Structure 1
Amino acid sequence: MREIYDWAGWFRELAARVAEGGETALIEKARQVDWSGEPELLKRGERGIDPFSFIYTLAQKNTRNQRPRVYPSVAKCFGLESPLSDFGNDDFYMFPTPPPNAAALFHDSKNFSPELLWRLFGQAVKDEPQIDPTTFRDVLKIRYVAQVKLTQALSLINPDFFVSVDALQHLPANKDMDLKGCDHGGFMSALNNAKRAFPGCRACEINTFVYSHYMSKPPLLKRESRFFQISTNAYGSDRWEDFDRSNAVYTDSSRQGGDPGLWETAPAGGDGRGSPYPLTEPARGDVILVRTGVRKGRAIGIVHRNDYAETDGLNDRSRLHVYWINKSEAGFGPGVQTDRVAFSEVTPTRSTYQAFRHAAAYQPTFMLIDKRDGNGPIGPRLPSHPLNQILYGPPGTGKTWHTVTHAMAIMEDREVDEVTQEDRATVKSRFDKYRDTGRIEMVTFTQNTTYEDFVEGIRPVLAGGATPGAAKPAESGDVGDDVRYELSRGVFRHIVDRAAQDTDQRYVLVIDEINRGNVARIFGELITLIEHSKRIGGDDEARVTLPGSKTEFGVPANLHVVGTMNTADRSIALLDTALRRRFVFEEMMPDETHPGISEDVGGVDCRKLLAAMNRRIAVLLDREHQIGHAYFLGVDKLPVLASMFRTRIMPLLQEYFYDDWEKIRAVLNGNGFVQRSGPPEELVRSNLVDADRAVYNLLPADDDRWTSPTAYRAVYETKASAEDGNATPAA
């Protein structure tokens, strides 16, 4: 998008040529231009042609039909060398444009002297304009001239310096100023505010951003705008100058010897494989943070167009076209480093985002990004996590495993899916650190868990020692010489107290197997306090006095509760109503397509095996007793599959079906693992049992059929040549 500001250089050169030639040359050349119809400019005589009226009339000819005729004619008449690109692309001509019916002249040709306009023009066209306040005021007194019209013309005469007041008015820094009635001082004050808000940017870049964001629908920046980061020198030479000139960023394929098939691949990790850059993901309005190395920021831009996202756009000619809104070069300070990958999305917890966010040079930009017309934050998407949630599903679906992921997503203000994609060991390491600092607590409910264990209660301790977390001695004092009783805090009281004293941080309590305990008895009256509206600071804040310590107690809004529930133990429909009403429930069912499940274990497709068994269990029992995919994770050899099936799957099926072996055989499609035989003949002869009574037995542990691929395939292949499971009756 190098051409987007070609108009600025073109108008800048035109203004310089007008200043060089003076009034006589302007009158002569203005009459030579092919205006595509006689403009009002030429109808008022020679003295009606002044530099402001000429420039403003030219800007009015800014349509796709007019540009190809008028602009080349002007360039020819004035001998301009600055290029203008595709006249049919409106993106290349985003400058202040008067409406077709607007008065383009800066006078009414009556009692008019052009010397005043030429004087102001001479002041404005300089590289460092020095506008005389009196001249500015006197021009505003001319009929048909007002603040918007005058400053729009100034922004065309010197696009590197001036921004029109209709654009300045939209900036949050100028929201309290009445610029449509301002004098020179008010205009310059608003202009300086704009330049502070867009460090290092030219006035034409500010104008374009304001037009694209504040004066267009939909606005450029959105509440859901995402953040991405890119390096200027990830592959050697620094590309910042090209980024700046072209108003675009890109990754480099030259490091791959020019191989176009590899240009979009990130550097290889420890496994020797790379991962694709998310180049197709940035959309219009997303934010690009540009850095050089890991210690220096270079710029911030807003995506205008993404070539990579177009059909066949993944090639080394594509670019991410941006509007620059900050071009400050700034170090990040001692010890601060960014991500090292050349291009990636960054969330608020990533080091690159934090480095830019806290660097003084980029503070004005984040203030701009965080507010739109002063209506509040529009920055990066911050996930909204429920205060109370329960992950529920059959055994082996990864509920406890996912509590770690959910807890980290809450702690770091991130999406759960984003955390899930990270290396598990890294996530678990961060989780453990939060546990060590007390910001995450874990507890498992059992049938024996009580209110005293969870909240607070009196516990016996040996004399001379105190229970960790003890509140204060009970009034009963000592009992005997060896035992004393103390009022001790439970895990819930501990984490609530810590969260209440540190409201700027999030805390998470993980309750595993929450449905195994008697929730009404464990929470007691505190079940009400975990409601969103009843939290401290909520619309209906509630507190209670704890019966043991007589302490006023409330639950802060920065404490999240994440529970797990095994539906094989108890259906969600049977849960305590108070619990169901206060928690959000997220179902976690078996995932037969999980990448950790092998499709070829000695000829056995474990995905099909799991899916076939679960289809039958859902019919013979219910969907809440299906087998979780976790049982099959890491199963890569037939002996491992056999051991897992014999020691884990078969006992689980026995528990599910209460030793109804015929249904277990049906789940396995009669594959031979469950042997059926008749009763001993002597019992039949003695009339102790019926002759048609079936006796069931599992295969012996050392039977070769446990490691037979045919036996497992028989579960999901109805035509497999498995044994029918019938054995010869014992004699």
Structure 2
Amino acid sequence: MNNNLVAPAYYVLGYKQGEGIEQQKRFVEHGLWDHDHNKTVEALVRRVPVGARVALKNYFTRGSRKKGESRAYIQVIALGTVRENEGNGQRLLIEWDAPIKPYEVQTRYQSTIAQIRAGEAQIRRIFALPTVPARPPAIYFVHPGPDGTWWPKFQEFGNAYLPAIVSESARLAFGQLRPGDVLVATTRYNQALGLGVVAPSSDSTAAGLPATELTCPVKWWIPHAAEMNANTFLVAAAFGRTKHWTRIRQAYEAQHPELLAVLNTHFPPAEPDPLSTVPLQKFPSNQILFGPPGTGKTYATAAWAVAIIEGRKVSEVEAEYYANREALQALLQTYRLRGQVEFVTFHQSFSYEDFVEGIKPTLATDDDDEEAEALSYRIEPGVFRTLSERGAAAINLWHQQQGLSSTALATPLDFTSVYTQFVATLEDKLLKGEEVVFKTKSDTAIVFDGFSPKGNLWVRHKKGQKEEPFTVSGFRLRKLYDKFKTVAEIQNVTNDITATIKGANTSAYWAVFNAFKEFEGQVAPVASPIEISNKSAWPNLLQGLVADPAAAKLAANKLDYAQVAAEILADAPRFVLIIDEINRGNVSNIFGELITLLEDDKRGGQLNAMNLKLPYSKASFQVPPNLYLLGTMNTADRSIEALDTALRRRFSFSEMPPKPNLLKAVAGVELGPLLTALNERIEYLSSRDHCLGHAWLMGVNSLEELRDAFHHKIIPQLQEYFYGNWARIRQILGKAFVEKLTLKVSLLDPVDEYDERPIRYRITDPGQWTVKSFQGLYVVNHAPSVRTSTSATDPGASAE
């Protein structure tokens, strides 16, 4: 059963009544779910995102309605995950979990398809998810609709909810809310509307609420507004962690002193806010986690990356998410979507062209039609240059947002900047329930119907017979924008547009392009894709640097480190490049001349700052001080011997040793002492770089699984460490696991007394490994003895 807590949405699905078992069987066997209901249901089906968890259910009631004892239930028949939404409102393609025994849940979901809106507890009951252990309260902001228009309903119904269309990062963060977390309801322009605490789901009601994607019960303790300092919020995201708890408290205490007692009761001054109330933790700019295989180096990079970005201690992050790995991964994914974290693995074929920049062949492709165009070559930035430009751009934006830059980045209008604002306007109207109509050249109506999963526009003819929406892609609009400076240049709608975008609903494209050009005329002539204003969302700005690399490059090039104060550099958003298996790549080939720029004092804005000209683009390049490199290195890998000395000097090293204390007892075998004993012998016979990691035994829950771990993981690892030297392996594992083989045939020529014949060994039958066999590996209370005799006949005799 899939217990993933980070699904983008949760739905319950019904089916045609009367066909019962046959419908259930068809859905599961063919990996789908469909219906034959009305357009209202179709609209809901079209909105189901890929990755959503779904529950196939029956609805029924129990008890006497007359006596007021009637209760609504659903019977959960099957669970699954949406793998494809065909977009026609009729069918979803679903990967169903392994068959389950049907179970009942008391709930109200009667309709054919419904989004679960009753809070986390209801989701856990319906999807049989495990209970999440308690953690310290977290502080979030939430926007009650455009300009705070939903705030009265938030108070009336004791809820906080997000609309159907929100960013993936907001959706993931909202899914991590727990009872006791603090919510700050805000407008997007420096006003806190009220404070509340997430309540248990049983305290909430969804009665009277509009159809929304996500709902959470909240007890609003302080339904009073407070004006904030300039630049406190300035966000367009619907939901997320707040960095301004101290400012929020101070504003309420100053403007509403009568609420001080409530604040101290429910929101004490010592409320932890690691994002703002404590200084950012310092980290080495270049860090390598090293240790033997299986010690969780790659696993640990998630906590390290989050700690670096949030300026917290790694131990704090690990403690907070120790029992909730899903939440940590969701948080890391949020930062990845925002462009602050990238992951790459070095290997023998990885090169400078992959890492920094290189000339790459490209095939222009339309994402909607997958139509190939001419082959071309262009200079493509690698992951290191891309993240460096984002980091420098973020410093520039951060510098402006703090009010320390008097000039905005004045650039001419371009398609990306106008289209971003155009789409935001459409989204705002959609959230307000306004109908958006585009007029064709023949004056017929084209209705905006929402956004496709790829972020393109869905439109439909208002009076047409076609029920499915038609996609108008930003890719093709950009082609029209590049070809025609004005709409008037399109003389023949069908011919001109078809020749430009190679076949499409030309009337719809003309209508949207016409509306887009009209919108462009209303935008200020100095607008820039990275200009700061009170309507800008800081997380969205970072995400915009991912969506528009040209804007990131522009902001990075405009950055003048001489004008940026040291405290701005220290507080600017941080970026982390995780390099797995850093020692397996040819470091001198991958980093090239940029190895020098990794040093702290040679980064942008530092005492000995340096920049170099890149060989392909001829662009001037600096490494920003807010970019952190986090590598992992396996000490047992032979490639470590060739690790570049220049890289060693520029990186700090943190050892990741085996942690036997994380292991438990299984079937009477103490896994912690067992691993300790094995590693003591390995270190004695070889080195600590060749120890066994605790990861090999982390998932062991039975004797059979322990046998499997030894047979397929531990023993092969020892064979790698002591290649061909079975006597050493026997000294580590003993005769219960490694046996000597006796000669069962007669030699035709007698053995000469000086003839040296190797002793043959083999692994014993895993089925014969008993609890006593494993216990015998660690109950010996003395160090293993190594024979020093020069006898070559039996080098492993001392293991007997």
Greater strand percent: which structure? Answer: 2
- Which is higher, the Rg of structure 1 or of structure 2? 1
What TM-score do the two structures reach when normalised by structure 1? 0.46
What TM-score do the two structures reach when normalised by structure 2? 0.42
